[in-house]
C-alpha cells in the first residue's frame, strides 16, 4: 500500500514536471549568434562546427538562442547532411532560408514531435539541399531550460551513409549489451530471489532507461509519447536509479554500518522523496545541482562501505567497488559535459554508455562472486562447528578420507579428547557461558597443536587449516600421522590442559579423558576408527585425565554389554526375571530372623548372569527404575500371599542409589505397600552409599516419607567405596551391612578385622543393627558374634535360595 501511494505520487510528479516544461515561456527577445562565414569545403572537410561559436548556448539558460549558418553558394544543387547528437535539448528548430524565403523547417528537440518525419533515428540528421545562385542560410533555434547544444557535423551524402551505419552499429552494440546483461541478471534473480538483487535489477532498468533517453535511443525503443514522458520525468528517473543503487548496496554489502542504515530506511526514503518533490517545481538548474550533490554523496557512500566490506572479508565487494568506480567515471564525464566543463565529442559522449556497460558487468561479476561466497559459506557451515570454526563431525565422516588418501603411511592414530567437566560448567554457569569457555579452550588447543609436527592439517574450503575436529559439544579429536608421535602429542595435550583456566572467579581445572585408536591396523574404516577411539575414551573415564589406547578387549566388552542390555530389556518386558532369598540369622541364637531378596536373571542365550554384572548396566542405561519397580512389585505380591513370611521376620530389598534420587520413589513404594496391605516395618531397604546423596533434597524427602510409612533403611556394603558418616545420618539408617570383602578377610588380615570391629562398635553406639554379610565359616561367625554383631548372612548359614525353598525353610 505504502509503495502504491509512493508510485502514485511519483506519477503525479512526472506529469507536473511535464506540464511545467510545456509552459517554458518563449523569451520575447531572442539572442542571436552569428556564425562566421564558412566556405563550403571548410564545413565538410573539418566536418565539425566551431564550438566557440555556440558556447553560450551550451549553458543553462531560459533564453531562446539562435544560430545562423551562412552557406556559400554552390554551382549546382548540392546536398549536405547535418548531424547532431540529441542530448536532452527540449526544443530544437532548424529553418532553411533561401534568398530570404523559408524553404524548410525541421523540428528535432527532445519534447517535440518528429519521429514520424524521420524514417529512422541515428541522432539528428538533416538533409539540406543547397540551391545554386541563391543565398542559403540555416537558422537553428535552441529553446530549453537545460544546457548543451551538441556539436554540429556536416557530411556529404556518401560519408553520411557510412557515418549513420557506424552510429547505428555502435549504439546497437551498446544498448544490446546492456539489455543482454539485464536479461541475464533477470534469470539469475529468478534463481536466487535475493532481495538486494531485486533492487539491482531496478537500478539496471533505470540506468538503461536513462541512458536510452539521454542518447535519444528511446525513440528507437518506444513510441513518441513514452519518450516524451521519459524526458519529462528524467529527474525522477535519475533519483530512482540512485535510490535503487543505495538500496542494493545496503542489501548487498554485509556490514554493521549498512545494517544500521537499513534500520533507518524510513528516514532515508523520506530524503529521497523530499528530493522528488523539490525537483518537481524547481528549475532544471537547481534540480541538477541537487542531483549532482546526491550523486556525489551516494558514490562516496558506496565506495566507503564497499571498501569496508572488502576489508572485512567480503570478497565480492572488489567487483562492486570496480562497478562503482565505473559508475563514478561515467557520471563524472557526463556531468562535466552537462555542466560544460569538458567538450562534447566522440570520446566524452561514449564514456557514459561504455562506463554503464562496464559498471553493470562489474555488478554481475560481484554477484557471481557473492554466489560463490554464499556457496563457500554454506559448505563451511556444513563442514565446521559454528562457535569455533573447527571442522565438525560431518567433516570427519565425509571429507577427511580425501585428505588421508595421499598420506602413504603405515599407521596413524585418531586421538579423541572428551572434556567431561563441560556439563559441570553448564550446570554451574548456564549453557551459553559453558559453551563460550569450552570453545575458547578448544580454539586455544587447536592453535597450540598447530606448532606440533605430525598432526594432520585439516584443510577447510576457505583455504585455512585446522588441527582439531569438534565432534560434539565436549569432544574433539585430531589425527597423529605416525604411531610414534602419539605419545608426544598426548603428553602435549595433557600439559596444555593441566594449566587452570580462569572461569568466573575460579581457576578451573578441566577434567577430561583421552582415548586413541590406530588406522588401519586396529580399524580399517574411518567409522570403526571413530568407534574404537570413542570406546577407548569412554574407558578412560574411570581415570580422569588419563589416556587409554584402544585394544580389542575393550571393544568386545562394549559389544557384549550392549548385547546384555538389549536382552535384559526384552526379558524385563516379558517378565522373565525372578528373585531368590538369602536367609539372615541371629548370630547368637542362629535363628532365621529374615532374608535378603536378590534378583536373578537367567537368559536363554546368555545363561545365568550375575546382578553384579547387569545392575550397573541397567543403572547406566536408565533401566534401573523399571527393574526396581519390577522386583518390588513381585516381592510385595509374594509377601501378600504368604503373610507368615513377615511375622517376626524381616525382608530386605536392594535398591539402587539412583532410585533414591528419583523424586516419587518413596510414593511408589508406599502406594504398593498400602495396596498389598503389608507391614512396612518388616521391610528393610538396602542402599549402597554414594556421594550423590550429600545435600540432596530429593533423597532426604524420599527417606523422610519412607520412614514415616514405617520402612527401615540399611546401608549396604559399608566400608568400601564411598563411606561417609554424613550418609549414616542423612539416611537415618536402621542397619549397617559390613561388606563381605572385610568379613572374608578378618582372620587373615588384621586391618580388615580392626575395621569390622570398629564398624560394629560404631553401629552399636549409634543404636543401629549391624549385619555381617558373606560369612563363609564358623570361625568368622563366632568372631562376629564375639564382637556383638547381631545378624549374620553367608554361605556358611544359607546360600541364596528360590523363594519357595525359603518358604519351606521357614515352615519347617
Ligand atoms: P549385596 O546386596 O551385597 O548382596 C549380597 C551378595 O553377596 C549377593 O550376591 C549374595 O549372593 C552374595 N553372598 C552372600 N553370602 C555370600 C558368601 O558367603 N560368599 C559369597 N562369595 N557371596 C555371598 P548377588 O546375588 O550376586 O548380588 C550382588 C549384588 O547385586 C548385591 O549385593 C546387590 O548390590 C545387587 N543386587 C541384587 N539384587 C538386587 C536387586 O533386586 N536390586 C538391586 N538394585 N540390586 C540388587
Ligand atoms: Mg544387599
Ligand atoms: Mg552387600
109 & 207 share domain: no
pLDDT score of 582 = 97
Does residue 595's CB lie within 6 angstroms of at least one atom of ligand 1? no
Contact 455, 407 (CB under 8 A): no
pLDDT score of 261 = 65
Does residue 582's CB lie within 6 angstroms of at least one atom of ligand 1? yes
User: How many angstroms does the Cα of residue 652 sit away from the middle of ligand 2?
Assistant: 7
601 & 729 share domain: yes
User: How many angstroms does the Cα of residue 648 sit away from the middle of ligand 3?
Assistant: 23
DSSP class of 524: S
For the segment 639-662, the average pLDDT, to the nearest whole number, is 92
Contact 339, 286 (CB under 8 A): no
Q: Quick check: is 352 in a domain?
A: no
pLDDT score of 257 = 65
Percent of the chain with pLDDT over 70: 85
pLDDT score of 488 = 93
546 & 578 share domain: no
Last residue of a domain, one of 527, 550, 573: 550
- Name the grid cell of 135: 543565398
pLDDT score of 542 = 60
Answer yes or no: is pLDDT of 16 > 60: no
Taking only the tens place, the pLDDT of each residue in 307-362 is 888 887 777 788 888 988 998 898 888 888 777 788 777 787 778 778 888 888 88
SS3 237: helix
Ligand with an atom nearest the CA of residue 743: 1
More confident residue, 644 or 55: 644
Residue 320 has phi, psi (to 5 degrees) of: -65, -45
Answer yes or no: is pLDDT of 655 > 80: yes
Ligand with an atom nearest the CA of residue 800: 1
Best CA proximity match to 660, nearest among 624, 632, 698, 712: 698
DSSP class of 390: -
> What are the Cα distances from residue 492, in Å, to 148, 468, 481, 780?
78, 14, 15, 53
Last residue of a domain, one of 315, 338, 361: 338
Q: Tell how many helices (H) and how many strands (E) occur in the chain.
A: 29, 27
Sign of torsion, CA 378 383 386 387? negative
pTM of the model as a whole: 0.53
178 & 141 share domain: no
> Residue 668: pLDDT band by 50, 70, 90 thresholds?
very high
> What are the Cα distances from residue 808, in Å, to 644, 647, 804, 805, 811?
11, 15, 6, 5, 5
User: How many angstroms does the Cα of residue 737 sit away from the middle of ligand 3?
Assistant: 7
Atom 32 (ligand 1): residue with closest C-alpha?
612
> Residue 511: pLDDT band by 50, 70, 90 thresholds?
confident
- Name the grid cell of 72: 556559400
82 & 182 share domain: no
User: How many angstroms does the Cα of residue 265 sit away from the middle of ligand 2?
Assistant: 74
Q: Quick check: is 557 in a domain?
A: no
Answer yes or no: is pLDDT of 148 > 70: no
**Residue 631 Cα: closest atom of ligand 1:** 41
User: How far apart are the C-alpha atoms of 808 and 471, rounded to whole Å?
Assistant: 59
Lowest mean pLDDT segment, chosen from 156-165, 434-443, 513-522: 156-165
Neighbours of ion ligand 3 (CB under 5 A): 716-717, 773
Contact 421, 475 (CB under 8 A): no
Does residue 716's CB lie within 6 angstroms of at least one atom of ligand 1? yes
Show the DSSP H helices in 253-283 as ranges. 256-263, 265-281
User: How many angstroms does the Cα of residue 724 sit away from the middle of ligand 1?
Assistant: 21
> Residue 583: pLDDT band by 50, 70, 90 thresholds?
very high
User: How far apart are the C-alpha atoms of 98 and 366, rounded to whole Å?
Assistant: 59
Q: Quick check: is 359 in a domain?
A: no
Q: Residue 96: which CATH number?
A: 2.60.120
**Residue 628 Cα: closest atom of ligand 1:** 42
- Name the grid cell of 745: 578377610
Atom 45 (ligand 1): residue with closest C-alpha?
654
User: How far apart are the C-alpha atoms of 468 and 440, rounded to whole Å?
Assistant: 13
Q: Residue 646: which CATH number?
A: 3.20.20.450
Does residue 654's CB lie within 6 angstroms of at least one atom of ligand 1? yes
CA dihedral of 275, 280, 281, 283, whole degrees rounded to 10: 90
More confident residue, 476 or 139: 476
Contact 144, 90 (CB under 8 A): yes
pLDDT score of 40 = 42
SS3 319: helix
601 & 685 share domain: yes
Answer yes or no: is pLDDT of 567 > 80: yes
Does residue 465's CB lie within 6 angstroms of at least one atom of ligand 1? no
171 & 133 share domain: no
Best CA proximity match to 578, nearest among 622, 617, 613, 627: 627
Q: Quick check: is 155 in a domain?
A: no
Does residue 100's CB lie within 6 angstroms of at least one atom of ligand 1? no
Atom 29 (ligand 1): residue with closest C-alpha?
612
H or E element, residue 431: helix 431-449
pLDDT score of 420 = 86
Ligand with an atom nearest the CA of residue 579: 1
- DSSP per residue over 699-751, as a string? HHHHHHHHHHHT-EEEEEEETSS---HHHHHHTT-SEEEE-HHHHHHTTT-HH
DSSP class of 40: H
Answer yes or no: is pLDDT of 23 > 60: no
Atom 8 (ligand 1): residue with closest C-alpha?
598
Highest mean pLDDT among 159-173, 565-579, 727-741: 565-579
Q: Quick check: is 704 in a domain?
A: yes
Tell the burial category of 467 from Cβ atoms under 10 Å away from its Cβ (0-12, 13-18, 19+): buried
Does residue 583's CB lie within 6 angstroms of at least one atom of ligand 1? no
SS3 607: strand
Answer yes or no: is pLDDT of 625 > 60: yes
Does residue 792's CB lie within 6 angstroms of at least one atom of ligand 1? no
Cα angle at 96 between 91 and 99, to 5 degrees?
A: 150
Residue 592 has phi, psi (to 5 degrees) of: -70, 120
Does residue 598's CB lie within 6 angstroms of at least one atom of ligand 1? yes
User: How far apart are the C-alpha atoms of 292 and 298, rounded to whole Å?
Assistant: 10
More confident residue, 101 or 265: 101
User: How far apart are the C-alpha atoms of 333 and 50, rounded to whole Å?
Assistant: 21
User: How many angstroms does the Cα of residue 709 sit away from the middle of ligand 3?
Assistant: 24
Q: Quick check: is 9 in a domain?
A: no
Taking only the tens place, the pLDDT of each residue in 481-499 is 888 889 999 999 999 988 8
| Domain encompassing residue 64 | 26-150
Answer yes or no: is pLDDT of 118 > 60: no
Answer yes or no: is pLDDT of 399 > 80: yes
User: How far apart are the C-alpha atoms of 21 and 89, rounded to whole Å?
Assistant: 12
User: How far apart are the C-alpha atoms of 315 and 370, rounded to whole Å?
Assistant: 8
Answer yes or no: is pLDDT of 36 > 50: no
Ligand with an atom nearest the CA of residue 738: 3
Ligand with an atom nearest the CA of residue 597: 1
Q: Quick check: is 367 in a domain?
A: no
Residue 124 has phi, psi (to 5 degrees) of: -105, 120
- DSSP per residue over 770-782, as a string? EEEE---SHHHHH
Atom 7 (ligand 1): residue with closest C-alpha?
774
Atom 37 (ligand 1): residue with closest C-alpha?
598
Beta strands in 521-587 (DSSP E): 547-549, 577-586
322 & 176 share domain: yes
pLDDT score of 28 = 33
Tell the burial category of 201 from Cβ atoms under 10 Å away from its Cβ (0-12, 13-18, 19+): middle
Give 476-488 as a 3 state SS string. Answer: EEEEECCHHHHHH
Best CA proximity match to 595, nearest among 735, 811, 801, 808: 801
* Average pLDDT over the chain, rounded to an integer: 82
Answer yes or no: is pLDDT of 692 > 60: no
Q: Quick check: is 160 in a domain?
A: no
Residues 6+ apart with CB under 8 A from 207: 178, 241, 356, 359, 360
Does residue 617's CB lie within 6 angstroms of at least one atom of ligand 1? no
Contact 475, 510 (CB under 8 A): no
Does residue 631's CB lie within 6 angstroms of at least one atom of ligand 1? yes
Taking CB atoms within 8 Å and a gap of at least 24, the contacts of 367-371 are: 367/185, 367/188, 367/197, 367/200, 367/316, 369/315, 369/316, 369/318, 369/319, 370/252, 370/316, 371/188, 371/192
Atom 16 (ligand 1): residue with closest C-alpha?
774
Ligand with an atom nearest the CA of residue 717: 3
Answer yes or no: is pLDDT of 1 > 80: no
Residue 461 has phi, psi (to 5 degrees) of: -60, -25
User: How many angstroms does the Cα of residue 609 sit away from the middle of ligand 1?
Assistant: 12
User: How far apart are the C-alpha atoms of 312 and 380, rounded to whole Å?
Assistant: 17
Beta strands in 64-206 (DSSP E): 64-71, 78-84, 91-98, 101-107, 124-130, 136-143, 152-156
Does residue 800's CB lie within 6 angstroms of at least one atom of ligand 1? yes
For the segment 112-131, the average pLDDT, to the nearest whole number, is 72
Tell the burial category of 273 from Cβ atoms under 10 Å away from its Cβ (0-12, 13-18, 19+): middle
- Name the grid cell of 711: 520402612
Give the pairing of strands 512-519 and 412-419: antiparallel
632: Cα separation from own chain's centroid: 51
639 & 763 share domain: yes
> Residue 55: pLDDT band by 50, 70, 90 thresholds?
low
Contact 810, 645 (CB under 8 A): yes
Answer yes or no: is pLDDT of 375 > 90: no
Q: Residue 398: which CATH number?
A: 3.30.70.270
Total tally of structural domains belonging to the chain: 4
Answer yes or no: is pLDDT of 529 > 80: yes
195 & 244 share domain: yes
User: How far apart are the C-alpha atoms of 329 and 282, rounded to whole Å?
Assistant: 27
464 & 610 share domain: no
Best CA proximity match to 756, nearest among 742, 770, 766: 742
pLDDT score of 47 = 37
Does residue 610's CB lie within 6 angstroms of at least one atom of ligand 1? yes
pLDDT score of 46 = 41
Contact 534, 527 (CB under 8 A): no
537 & 500 share domain: yes
Cα angle at 116 between 114 and 122, to 5 degrees?
A: 70
Amino acid at each position: 500500500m505504502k509503495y502504491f501511494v509512493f508510485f502514485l505520487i511519483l506519477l503525479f510528479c512526472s506529469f507536473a514536471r511535464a506540464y511545467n516544461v510545456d509552459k517554458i515561456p518563449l523569451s520575447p527577445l531572442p539572442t542571436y549568434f552569428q556564425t562566421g562565414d564558412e566556405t563550403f569545403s571548410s564545413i565538410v572537410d573539418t566536418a565539425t562546427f566551431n564550438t566557440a561559436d555556440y558556447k553560450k548556448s551550451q549553458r543553462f539558460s531560459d533564453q531562446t538562442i539562435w544560430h545562423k549558418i551562412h552557406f556559400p553558394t554552390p554551382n549546382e544543387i548540392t546536398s549536405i547532411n547535418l548531424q547532431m547528437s540529441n542530448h536532452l535539448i527540449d526544443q530544437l528548430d532548424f529553418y532553411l532560408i533561401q534568398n530570404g524565403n523559408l524553404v524548410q523547417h525541421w523540428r528535432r528537440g527532445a519534447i517535440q514531435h518528429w519521429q514520424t518525419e524521420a524514417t529512422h533515428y541515428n541522432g539528428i540528421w538533416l538533409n539540406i539541399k543547397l540551391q545554386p545562385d541563391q543565398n542559403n542560410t540555416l537558422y537553428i533555434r535552441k529553446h530549453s531550460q537545460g544546457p548543451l547544444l551538441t556539436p554540429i557535423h556536416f557530411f556529404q551524402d556518401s560519408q553520411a551513409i557510412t557515418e549513420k551505419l557506424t552510429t547505428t552499429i555502435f549504439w546497437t552494440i551498446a544498448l544490446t549489451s546492456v539489455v543482454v546483461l539485464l536479461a541475464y541478471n533477470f534469470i539469475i534473480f529468478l534463481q536466487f530471489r535475493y532481495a538486494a538483487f531485486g533492487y539491482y535489477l531496478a537500478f539496471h532498468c533505470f540506468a538503461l532507461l536513462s541512458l536510452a533517453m539521454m542518447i535519444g535511443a528511446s525513440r528507437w525503443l518506444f513510441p513518441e509519447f513514452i519518450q516524451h514522458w521519459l524526458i519529462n520525468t528524467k529527474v525522477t528517473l535519475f533519483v530512482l536509479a540512485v535510490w535503487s543503487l543505495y538500496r542494493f548496496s545496503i542489501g548487498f554489502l554485509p556490514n554493521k554500518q549498512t545494517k544500521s542504515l537499513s534500520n533507518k530506511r524510513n528516514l532515508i526514503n523520506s530524503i529521497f522523496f523530499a528530493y522528488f518533490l523539490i525537483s518537481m517545481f524547481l528549475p532544471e538548474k537547481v534540480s541538477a545541482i541537487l542531483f549532482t550533490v546526491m550523486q556525489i554523496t551516494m558514490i562516496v557512500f558506496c565506495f566507503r562501505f564497499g571498501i569496508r566490506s572488502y576489508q572485512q572479508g567480503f570478497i565480492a565487494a572488489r567487483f562492486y567497488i570496480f562497478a562503482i568506480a565505473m559508475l563514478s567515471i561515467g557520471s563524472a564525464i557526463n556531468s562535466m559535459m552537462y555542466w560544460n566543463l569538458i567538450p562534447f565529442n566522440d570520446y566524452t559522449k561514449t564514456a557514459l554508455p561504455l562506463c554503464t556497460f562496464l559498471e553493470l558487468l562489474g555488478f554481475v561479476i560481484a554477484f557471481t562472486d557473492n554466489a560463490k561466497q554464499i556457496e563457500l559459506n554454506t559448505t563451511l557451515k556444513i563442514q565446521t562447528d559454528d562457535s569455533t570454526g573447527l571442522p565438525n563431525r560431518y567433516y570427519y565422516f565425509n571429507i577427511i578420507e580425501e585428505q588421508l588418501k595421499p598420506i602413504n603411511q603405515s599407521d596413524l592414530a585418531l586421538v579423541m579428547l572428551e572434556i567431561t567437566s563441560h556439563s559441570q560448567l553448564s550446570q554451574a554457569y548456564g549453557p551459553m557461558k559453558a559453551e563460550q569457555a569450552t570453545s575458547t579452550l578448544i580454539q586455544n588447543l587447536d592453535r597450540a597443536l598447530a606448532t606440533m609436527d605430525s598432526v594432520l592439517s585439516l584443510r577447510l574450503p576457505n583455504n585455512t587449516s585446522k588441527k582439531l575436529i569438534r565432534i560434539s559439544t565436549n569432544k574433539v579429536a585430531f589425527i597423529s600421522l605416525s604411531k610414534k608421535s602419539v605419545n608426544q602429542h598426548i603428553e602435549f595435550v595433557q600439559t596444555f590442559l593441566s594449566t587452570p583456566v580462569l572461569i568466573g572467579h575460579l581457576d578451573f581445572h578441566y577434567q577430561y579423558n583421552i582415548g586413541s585408536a590406530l588406522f588401519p591396523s586396529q580399524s580399517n574404516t574411518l567409522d570403526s576408527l571413530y568407534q574404537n577411539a570413542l570406546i577407548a575414551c569412554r574407558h578412560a573415564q574411570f581415570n580422569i585425565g588419563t589416556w587409554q589406547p584402544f585394544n580389542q578387549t575393550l571393544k568386545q566388552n562394549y559389544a557384549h554389554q550392549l548385547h546384555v542390555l538389549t536382552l535384559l530389556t526384552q526379558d524385563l518386558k516379558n517378565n522373565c526375571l525372578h528373585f531368590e532369598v538369602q536367609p539372615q540369622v541371629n548370630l547368637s541364637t542362629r535363628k532365621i530372623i529374615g532374608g535378603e531378596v536378590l534378583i536373578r536373571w537367567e537368559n536363554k542365550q546368555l545363561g545365568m548372569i550375575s546382578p553384579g554384572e547387569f545392575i550397573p548396566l541397567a543403572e547406566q542405561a536408565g533401566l534401573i527404575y523399571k527393574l526396581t519397580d519390577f522386583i518390588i512389585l513381585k516381592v510385595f505380591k509374594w509377601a501378600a500371599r504368604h503373610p507368615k513370611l513377615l511375622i517376626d521376620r524381616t525382608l530386605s530389598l536392594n535398591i539402587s542409589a539412583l532410585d533414591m534420587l528419583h523424586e516419587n520413589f518413596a510414593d511408589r513404594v508406599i502406594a504398593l505397600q498400602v495396596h498389598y496391605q503389608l507391614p512396612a516395618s518388616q521391610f528393610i531397604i538396602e542402599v549402597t552409599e554414594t556421594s550423590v546423596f550429600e545435600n540432596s533434597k530429593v533423597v532426604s524427602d524420599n527417606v523422610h516419607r519412607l520412614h514415616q510409612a514405617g520402612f527401615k533403611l540399611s546401608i549396604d556394603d559399608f566400608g568400601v567405596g564411598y563411606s561417609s558418616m554424613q550418609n549414616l545420618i542423612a539416611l537415618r539408617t536402621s542397619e549397617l551391612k559390613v561388606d563381605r570383602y572385610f568379613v572374608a578377610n578378618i582372620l587373615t588380615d588384621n586391618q580388615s578385622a580392626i575395621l569390622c570391629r570398629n564398624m560394629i562398635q560404631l553401629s552399636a553406639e549409634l543404636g543401629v543393627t549391624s549385619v555381617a554379610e558373606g560369612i563363609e565359616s564358623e570361625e568368622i561367625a563366632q568372631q562376629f558374634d564375639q564382637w556383638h554383631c547381631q545378624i549374620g548372612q553367608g554361605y556358611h548359614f544359607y546360600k541364596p535360595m528360590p523363594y519357595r525353598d525359603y518358604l519351606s525353610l521357614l515352615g519347617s
